[in-house]
Structure 1
């Protein structure tokens, strides 16, 4: 395949972008992920899955797993995990003036003001039935004229306790107007902005790339594996988890239940090169548009990473190394948290403005991750004995060879990029 024809070097096809938009737009706040998993991903999985694949469901949460070889516990099991849950705001209380005071969860209060949201309210008279309210905005001060001088100058920020939802309520009995809608404490509120193509080529922006993108990548890898005829000796578990944003509780259930031999978390990462004001932290130079990322450190398996990196190099797929320290910060930790013996790592794609309404990504990074993971699964399937490959080939630093000074000549550009 020529470089120009490689999918990760070309614009994402419109039909594929449409699927990505549908997955990202599904209203799936933490604890209510069914819109994404059952409303979008389950039908998508069923549209291409061979008849002998099985979709697994769970009682305590809306996670799903597409299983290529159900019941074959003797096979080498590989789990790919994206998480469907979105960080959400919640109704805290309703004021006499009609203001709906809310909890901001994992959003910075300062990035919320003025944005449109959707409020999902359970019908008090029909538990289990939900209604949606659109047209409200998140506010804190009302107007700059009412803020004290320190806030107006930027010397002091907005506190989370100041955040409320404004439904433009006016007239008599303002609180009662809200109560008559059935709005109650605990109701979920999420940002209202579907993704759109960005100004620069191959970019897109909107709310909740974290982590509908990981779910999209997982589902597209599943489709490509199905179209290629499946796998011979590797049982692949394409998993969509819940509860990641509150402690990765969903993925540890999936890992505990299915006990994979290899686990790969698929989640967004940061574009550190574009992040403002962090230059003195000396972060790794991850950058949007430079390829997918692979976690190094924490619980990341060097054996698994070796296969992913070798596969990416073989197919000329751009990859960036991500230093993660003690915790990947993703569902890649699920095996450890569930006390399952598996080789694990985390794959991602650098985005900007994480946990805001204007998260920004690059379709070529996403496509690079899709195809790198697809080729990795096929490489694992081609091993003589995947179990022994991981049992017998742990890195031995006592066998490291001495390295001497290599001079001052600059390496080729390709080698320099691969070392990031």
Structure 2
């Protein structure tokens, strides 16, 4: 898919490289507030840390755009007498972690660590074929005692993130980074509001960078209660099924660079139909994925807020989800932004969201 890109890639790089474990999203949200402020009339933050950026506050109906800013990672749970750091995992696969570089984010600043891994020469046959349980994995920071680790400022509860950062990948618009899930969605909301600010729609648009999605959709739960939207578009990564180890029969056909993924299922059919119709008019290819139950996104709680919300879930194809090297395609991102801007412009004040 060829498309002219207008994305602020410098901002995207900043978003992806800024730390923001679930519950520790403050730096990401400060960055989002700073960038979005010139393009909206109202800017608020709630007790959960959600950021609400409102365009055309007197417009109707009210459209909520949602994407979560938190990321997967780890948390310090125990320091051994030898100074090694043991951790809880938030959304990570156990086999992914050994041997990786991490940053422990203390109040004194980040501390580099390496997740320990026994040399293959020392492993017996069972160890070579088994995954090391997370409870047995540890981080080596070069300390020799618990006191030395504590004197560096490491405390129980400190967040831990992989020490990997944003990079371009190849020549087809692919990029890789630690947390496109779901900073790419936050970037999409920023771009939508920025472009709509040049020609405001009839609708009120509230872009929400939500928190704590990875630990139970918590931010979106309170955010939707506050906003009380009539319509919501939810942006999150979805599985790109075009790598050698993917099974299309298990999830469906979805590929990098082939356009937005539209979830089909118990969402609002009027919203979904209008998304599909708008994409066709813009000649933007879409990829349909069946979601017969929950989508696994913020949309699951937004839809059932108060008396109900008409939602559409738009997926960004992503390889290597919940790893330190996720991959998305910027052409897909640009297509989602253009589709969303046009969709919002087509929403009239008398839009009927009842089935």
Q: Same fold (TM over 0.5)?
A: yes
State how far apart, in whole Å, the 1-side matches of 2:43 and 2:143 are.
45
- What pairs with 1:333-352 in structure 2 (closer than 5 Å)? 333-352=300-319
The superposition leaves residues 235-288 of structure 1 with CA deviations (integer Å, 9 ceiling, x where unpaired) of 111111001111111111111111100011100010123261535x44211111
**Correspondence list, 1:229-268, <5 A:** 230-232=200-202, 234-268=203-237
Pairs within 5 Å for 1:300-315? 300-315=267-282
Which of residues 26, 45, 63 is equivalent to 1:57?
A: 45
Matched ranges for 1:11-410 at <5 A = 12=5, 16-38=8-30, 40-49=31-40, 53-59=41-47, 61-70=48-57, 72=58, 75-121=60-106, 130-139=107-116, 141-152=117-128, 154=129, 156-170=130-144, 174-228=145-199, 230-232=200-202, 234-274=203-243, 276=245, 278=247, 281-298=249-266, 300-380=267-347, 383=348, 385-386=350-351, 389-391=352-354, 394=355
Stretches (4+) displaced over 4 A: none
**Shift in Å at residue 202 of structure 1?**
0.6
TM-score after normalising by structure 2: 0.95
**Gap runs ≥5 in structure 2:** none
**Could you say which structure has the greater relative contact order, defined with CA pairs below 8 angstroms and 6 or more residues apart?**
2
CA distance in 2, matches of 1:137, 1:10: 41
Deviations 1:335-375 (A, max 9, x none): 23433421012111111000001101111011111111111
SS in 2 for 1:31: coil
Tell me which structure has the larger Cα radius of gyration.
Answer: 1
SS in 1 for 2:313: strand
CA distance in 2, matches of 1:270, 1:10: 22
- Alpha carbons 2:240, 2:318 under 8 Å: kept: yes
1:111–1:356 CA contact under 8 A, matched in 2 = yes
Per the alignment, in what secondary structure is the counterpart of residue 149 of structure 2? helix
CA distance in 2 between counterparts of 1:304 and 1:113 reads 44
Q: Is the 8 A contact 1:118 1:132 kept in 2?
A: no
Shift of 1:64: 0.5
Alignment CA distance shift 1:247-1:340 (3 Å): farther
SS in 2 for 1:390: coil
Q: Secondary structure at the match of 2:197?
A: helix
From the superposition, tell whether residues 119 and 11 of structure 1 become closer, same or farther in structure 2 (CA, over 3 Å).
Answer: farther
Query: Do 1:81 and 1:266's aligned partners in 2 also have CA atoms closer than 8 Å?
Result: yes
How far residue 200 of structure 1 moved from its aligned partner, in angstroms, is: 4.0
The answer to which of 207-216 and 107-116 deviates more is 107-116
Q: Could you tell me whether the CA contact under 8 Å between 1:253 and 1:338 is conserved in 2? A: no
Q: 1:3 corresponds to which residue? A: none
**How many residues were matched structurally?**
355
Query: RMSD of the alignment, in Å?
Result: 1.8
